[in-house]
Structure 1
Amino acid sequence: MSTPAFPASVYAARLERASALAAEAGLDAIIVGPGPDLQYLVGVEGDTIERLTALVIGAASAPTVVVPRMELAKVRSTAVGELHLAVADWVDGENPYELVSSAVGEASRVGVSDALPALHVIPLGTRLGLTLELATPVLRESRMIKDATEIGELRRAGEAIDRVHRRVPEWLRAGRTEREVAADIAEAIVAEGHRTVEFVIVGSGPNGADPHHEVSDRVIEDGDVVVVDIGGAVPSGYNSDSTRTYVVGTPDAAAAERIAVLVRAQQAAVDAARPGATASAVDAAARDVLADAGLGEAFLHRTGHGIGVSVHEEPYIAPGNDLVLREGMAFSIEPGIYFAGEWGARIEDIVVVTADGCERLNVAPHELTPVAGA
């Protein structure tokens, strides 16, 4: 059973906005399957299975939830029940696509959420007699601007993950494996207020040069630069994501100098994040600092990604993205530098765009943090 993360009025407003945005986009209806969009709109969590669950939002009709009867109690324990939404339940042997078609009604343009798999999209399109469109632009716009309640949850998540980073020196030391350190960190993520651990990256020495390294049985050595990138979901389902770079013992002077440049690059991007700036301008602010120091080629990825009920969502802070930032957008700022076979470093905070700048939700020390050697 689930308990709605927010009051029913929050979900009602989200549904109303999604309906209005669908109408603005010229869609007669949108069909939302299990995944982050369904969690955002009505608090129903879980992944798609072979039995169809779908929320149908009509531009001019009340929302309807189509759900297998065996999932009915779970769905009714969410905002679906609190809002008394129409529910069409079904059992094996019945055709759920006919129920969706009835909820959609007469339509010429229907969108589907991007998490809905071909397993369901193809029979839905056949039953409706339409080529279905992605509802991503509508749903992205709904989720991209965070309200005060969501920002409060992201702040809560940021404070919790900061507490974990402050404890990393308890576990990170020479002679331990990355996997051992990661296990301690994962336990602390839950202890410090998260309900789930979404990821733990401990990249020591040359492993830190792989931005998506997770953990291994490599034994951490004196002098290693170590990337620790961690995050999880707090009880409401909103996520944390923060990276700090540590050094075991005394850092190499050249590495320390380069990481100091990285800290400046991250700060430059934070300073550039404000309403009216573009996502690409924030990316360029970090990238230019690194390029000026001769480190541009070592920056291998975008500067950031949006965050909310998904760890990665819109907006993406990347070269070429001319999306104009607006108050309420929340995203990471995480430039990194990577030297194959040697080491890597990354500094990451979540920020929220405010009326005249941005609020940094992670405040654990950004500088290269020394931990005890052997």
Structure 2
Amino acid sequence: MYGARIARAAELARSAGLDGLVVTPGPDLRYLTGSRADSFERLTALVIAADTAKASVVLPRLELASLKESAVGDLGLTVLDWVDGVDPYAIVAAQLPTGAKVAVTDAMPALHLIPLADTLGALPILATGVLRELRMVKDDAEIEALRRAGAAIDRVHARMAEFLIVGRTEAEVGEAISEAILEEGHTEAAFVIVGSGPHGADPHHEVSDRVIESGDIVVIDIGGPVEPGYNSDSTRTYSMGQPSAEVSAQFAVLEAAQQAAVDSVRPGVSAESVDVAAREVLAAQGLAEVFVHRTGHGIGLSVHEEPYIVEGNTIELVEGMAFSIEPGIYFRGSWGARIEDIVVVTADGCESFNNRPHGLTVLG
């Protein structure tokens, strides 16, 4: 699998007129080799020569043990280790043609990008356009991992009555949810948003010392990775007691908008058309101005990756693309709500990895 990915990366690089790719630790390196190495002040990089698909790994000798946790040995890649006092950027350059046009992963720190550019004699471009072609379309193993992740986060939402209780602070609820995320099969809690009352109107609120009160509308957006590193991300909205008629009516519009976006997904439509599907439902009920973000983002080894479901993104959806569908409505100073599922494009529509009820769940 990893060998095929490296070969495909080289092919895409050639098609883009590139001579090589340099990939430092991060999601792209993990995708291509399975390596979970971290980026330090000493350079570690996968170097792929586009013309031959020959790949080498340049890394500090003291990091050689980290290769045991990757597919580098099985792939038979050339390992070029170096010690302090040796110029690793010269080693990278030696694996590429003179005057090579090189692309680098967007996770490369400036600490390495600048000396690499000096050695190559030219500033590399970003490899995002090449690597996204690989990572956007998930294979069967990746889809199964995302399916497991979705089921795991659904199990956490199913337990929300245990955690989300009037009188607790957002931080206390968040701590309990984080523990449940691990208990239900994730390797970590990547993010936990508990937005109660007016905090629910801030899409990127995390947690605070605010005490959850009766009558609050609470946005719970949670997720994290499951082995081998594929992420969940699901949002549901809860009401601490019976909501008002106005809140119920506005939430019903949001639920219809989210469903309209899901129903619009199929191969051949544009990413932006899914955004439009949600936005039109909200606009028809006068709620366009309170939907303040894109409808979705791709997901995989990164929580946020291509394709982005947003106005202006004309890329056509193809079978195997996985992304969130998460419209929200936000009334600043009052309350907010969001519904989020992860879906994968199928031959004739999409499959949702999240299957908890979408409605405004009443607790307490």
Common fold by TM > 0.5:
yes
Note if 1:41 corresponds to 2:25.
no
The residue identity in structure 2 corresponding to 1:174 is: V
Alignment partners' CA distance in 2, 1:358 and 1:147: 15
2:95 partner SS: helix
From 279, 282, 286, the equivalent of 1:290 is 282
CA-CA distance at 1:131 after TM superposition: 2.7
Normalised by the length of structure 1, the TM-score is 0.96
CA-CA distance at 1:43 after TM superposition: 1.1
* Identity between Structure 1 and Structure 2 (%): 63
1:268 partner SS: helix
From 132, 136, 143, the equivalent of 1:144 is 136
2:362 partner SS: strand
From 53, 57, 60, the equivalent of 2:51 is 60
Whether the aligned pair in 1 keeps the contact of 2:260 and 2:277 (CA below 8 Å) is: yes
CA-CA distance at 1:188 after TM superposition: 0.5
2:159 partner SS: helix
From 20, 28, 44, the equivalent of 2:11 is 20
Note if 1:196 corresponds to 2:211.
no
After superposing on structure 2, the runs of 4+ consecutive aligned residues of structure 1 that deviate more than 2 Å are: 105-108
Alignment partners' CA distance in 2, 1:274 and 1:219: 43
Whether the aligned pair in 1 keeps the contact of 2:145 and 2:227 (CA below 8 Å) is: no
Alignment partners' CA distance in 1, 2:185 and 2:363: 24
Whether the aligned pair in 2 keeps the contact of 1:306 and 1:330 (CA below 8 Å) is: yes
What is residue 281 of structure 1 aligned with on the other side? 273
Alignment partners' CA distance in 1, 2:127 and 2:274: 27
Alignment partners' CA distance in 2, 1:256 and 1:46: 48
Alignment partners' CA distance in 2, 1:271 and 1:347: 15
Whether the aligned pair in 2 keeps the contact of 1:28 and 1:107 (CA below 8 Å) is: no
Note if 1:365 corresponds to 2:357.
yes
Normalised by the length of structure 2, the TM-score is 0.98
What is residue 74 of structure 1 aligned with on the other side? 66
CA-CA distance at 1:107 after TM superposition: 4.3
The residue identity in structure 2 corresponding to 1:240 is: S
CA-CA distance at 1:48 after TM superposition: 2.0
2:193 partner SS: strand
Q: Which moved more, 1:333-342 or 1:77-86?
A: 77-86
What is residue 180 of structure 1 aligned with on the other side? 172
Post-superposition CA distance 1:236-278 (Å, at most 9, x none): 0000000000000111111111111101100000001111111
Note if 1:160 corresponds to 2:142.
no
Aligned runs of 1:75-90 on 2, under 5 Å?
Answer: 75-90=67-82
What is residue 92 of structure 2 aligned with on the other side? 100
Alignment partners' CA distance in 1, 2:115 and 2:162: 54
Matched residue count: 363
1:217 partner SS: coil
Alignment partners' CA distance in 2, 1:116 and 1:128: 15
From 201, 204, 207, the equivalent of 1:209 is 201
What is residue 4 of structure 1 aligned with on the other side? none
- In angstroms, what is the RMSD of aligned CA positions? 0.9
Whether the aligned pair in 2 keeps the contact of 1:29 and 1:107 (CA below 8 Å) is: no
CA-CA distance at 1:121 after TM superposition: 1.2
From 310, 334, 338, the equivalent of 2:302 is 310
Alignment partners' CA distance in 1, 2:37 and 2:69: 14
